[in-house]
Amino acid sequence: MTELPAYEFFGASGGLVTTPKDLNAFWDSLFGGKLLPRWALRQMTQDATDVGGRDVYPKGSRYGYGVASIPLSCGGTYRGHGGGLPGVSVGGGRATDGRGTVTVYTTTVAAQGARLAHLQGAVDAA
């Protein structure tokens, strides 16, 4: 069997090289209406499907066109997207009230189970 290079094995999931600062700027621009027309942003956020308790999403989560809406312990919601490859996991987005944007990286094995809950907890706390 031939070994695939990482870029072929992971596809686009490994294609972004960025910093937390730049990723936060992306979330601010996306949810601040600077990147897409209002109708497209509405489809990403308001026309979302309930995914709470499925896969990696906590109860009360919704997902629509590449963006998850995840409830926060303070009663608010943040919108964003996480991801991971062996060796790194990321979670981040922007609070829906616009008060904060956060990206949290971990450099461990892929975040699953308790590690994923810990990563989501760090995003929630931030």
The DSSP string of the chain is -PPPPHHHHHGGGG-----HHHHHHHHHHHHTTSSS-HHHHHHHHTTPEE-TTSTTPPTT-EEETTEEEEE-TTS-EEEE--EEETTEEEEEEEETTSS-EEEEEE-SS---THHHHHHHHHHHH-
pLDDT digits (tens, 9 = 90+) for 18-57: 788 888 888 889 988 999 999 988 888 876 777 766 667 7
**Segment of 1-10, 38-47, 55-64, 103-112 carrying the highest mean pLDDT:** 38-47
Place of tokens 């996306």: 30
Place of tokens 């990403």: 44
Determine the Cα–Cα distance for residues 67 and 35; give it in Å rounded to an integer: 14
Query: Is the entire prediction scored with pTM above 0.85?
Result: no
Determine the Cα–Cα distance for residues 115 and 76; give it in Å rounded to an integer: 23
Given its phi and psi angles, is residue 78 left (phi above 0), alpha (psi -120 to 50 degrees) or beta? beta
